[in-house]
């Protein structure tokens, strides 16, 4: 197959842990051709979406993880599959990219995750479609509504709807003297909607990343365990990643969601689960493949290539 990956700048990727690089390495080991595309290279003209695509040969050396080949302008329909793997921020340029990619999909390109599904699927708000699995949650922007939630639940988590990696997440108790200024800061004084969730003590055992690949549930999660004195388990916030078999509760959530999300063209999904409660559904560029593979021997990047080979057969 001929596979294109839409990525962040290549020199910014951390090869020792990057899931996209792990997928490219897995694809190359099977003889598939691998190309890298930058989002700002997408062009629509005359009904065709094309991009400058760099042919790359992945290596197993992290300091020099690829050998560059030729760069050429190619229509996205020339690839067997295109994987959109760029990190947020989910800003207007990101939305524009999904519009262009949707035009490419309309012309016959296979885009994963499907651009319309990425655009329509807020990684935070998406959980509200499945209230049976989530902790007490309120999405609001008025300070009175958020304060009422804090008063009801006492110990809460407040977070923006467009953050990643644990950025701007606050634990706020009812007696916190800073609660008003935290709410003002996160909501931009009532101009931005945020999410409030009841604090889950099970975070001490890890914020679990559960992966779903092509509608199939990966049997291991990565528990991202907060460092001492920290609420957030995110690896970017200093959390420690420990792979472990799925619990019955985690598997039940994932098995329920898997066929629904795959039917929407979401090839790679990362659920965030604390205890037995679903807190996020990540679809832009879910990670943790490298850590799970290294600790368990289960080849998660290989499972992605399996799913692509099946989907593109």
* CB of 206 closer than 8 Å to CB of 291: no
For 140, phi and psi rounded to 5 degrees? -160, 170
* CB of 37 closer than 8 Å to CB of 53: yes
End-to-end CA distance of the chain: 10
Q: Active-site residue numbers?
A: 124, 159, 209, 224, 232, 272, 280, 282
Beta bridge partners of 278: 273
**37's tokens:** 């595309």
Integer-rounded Cα radius of gyration of the chain: 20
Give 111: exposed, middle or buried? Use CB within 10 Å, 0-12, 13-18, 19+. buried
**56's tokens:** 């790359």
**230's tokens:** 């920290």
Beta bridge partners of 140: 194
CA 17 to chain centre: 14
Q: At what angle do helices 19-29 and 300-311 cross, to 10 degrees?
A: 60
Give dist(CA 189, CA 176) in Å, integer: 18
In the block, tokens 């990362």 appear at 270
User: Length of the chain, please?
Assistant: 313
């Amino acid at each position: 197959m001929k596979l294109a990956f839409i990525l962040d700048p290549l020199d910014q990727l951390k090869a020792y842990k990057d899931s996209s690089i792990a997928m490219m390495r897995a694809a190359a080991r099977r003889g598939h051709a691998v190309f890298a595309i930058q989002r700002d290279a997408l062009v629509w003209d005359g009904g065709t979406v094309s991009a400058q695509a760099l042919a790359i040969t992945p290596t197993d050396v992290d300091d020099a993880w690829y050998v560059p080949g030729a760069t050429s302008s190619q229509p996205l329909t020339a690839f067997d599959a295109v994987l959109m793997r760029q990190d947020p921020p989910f800003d207007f340029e990101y939305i524009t990219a999904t519009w262009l990619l949707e035009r490419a999909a309309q012309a016959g390109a296979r885009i994963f995750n499907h651009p319309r599904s990425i655009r329509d699927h807020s990684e935070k708000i998406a959980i509200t479609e499945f209230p049976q699995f989530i902790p007490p949650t309120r999405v609001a922007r008025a300070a009175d509504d958020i304060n009422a939630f804090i008063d009801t639940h006492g110990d809460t988590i407040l977070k923006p709807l467009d953050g990643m990696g644990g950025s701007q997440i606050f634990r706020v108790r009812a007696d916190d003297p800073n609660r008003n200024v935290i709410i003002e800061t996160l909501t931009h004084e009532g101009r931005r909607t945020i999410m409030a969730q009841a604090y889950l003590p099970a975070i001490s055992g890890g914020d679990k990343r559960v992966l779903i690949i092509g509608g199939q549930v990966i049997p291991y999660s990565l528990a991202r365990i907060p460092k001492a004195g920290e609420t957030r388990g995110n690896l970017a916030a200093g959390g420690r990643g420990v792979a472990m078999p799925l619990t019955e509760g985690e598997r039940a959530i994932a098995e329920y969601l898997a066929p629904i999300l795959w039917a929407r063209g979401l090839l790679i999904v990362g659920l965030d689960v604390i205890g037995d409660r679903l807190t996020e559904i990540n679809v832009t560029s879910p990670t943790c493949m490298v850590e799970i593979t290294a600790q368990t021997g289960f080849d998660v990047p290989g499972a992605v290539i399996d799913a692509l080979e099946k989907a593109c057969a």
